[in-house]
Amino acid sequence: MLGLRTTIYKVGDIQKATEWYTKAFETPPYFNEPYYVGFNIGGYELGLQPEENPTTDKIESVVSYWGVDKIKEVYDRLIQIGATAHEKPYNVGGELMTATVKDPFGNIIGLIYNPYFKI
């Protein structure tokens, strides 16, 4: 195992999702095709793929957490641009904090402030 490389979010409207994720992560895609959109987020790939049967009612079995420095600010900004609150920022021990939101397409986006983990 070499470590995490890509997190994929399935979306009903890949064009709208590309616009939303560009705004949410403040990064344009490096790869943009109708079948896949890829973003380089701090050296990790965030990918969008179109769904065959679009739904916003998604299974919550796996959550990828994106590292942030100011979790409350990022959480609030994502809500302001159309995400839905899922789990408000909370302390999970020491200085470690996590939160989750749902994107407009039903996917869970995890946020983590972890000053103990360095890349």
User: Is the CB of residue 113 less than 8 Å from the CB of residue 95?
Assistant: yes
Report the percentage of the chain scoring pLDDT > 90.
85
Q: What is the pLDDT of residues 82-109, one digit of tens each?
A: 999 999 999 999 999 999 999 999 999 9
Contact call for residues 102 and 59 (beta carbons, < 8 A): no
Q: According to the model, what pLDDT value does residue 105 have? A: 96
User: What is the pLDDT at residue 54?
Assistant: 86
Per-residue confidence at 4, pLDDT binned at 50, 70, 90? Answer: confident
Q: Which domains does the chain have, with CATH numbers?
A: 1-50 (3.30.720.120), 63-119 (3.10.180.10)
Q: How far apart are CA 73 and CA 89, in angstroms?
A: 10
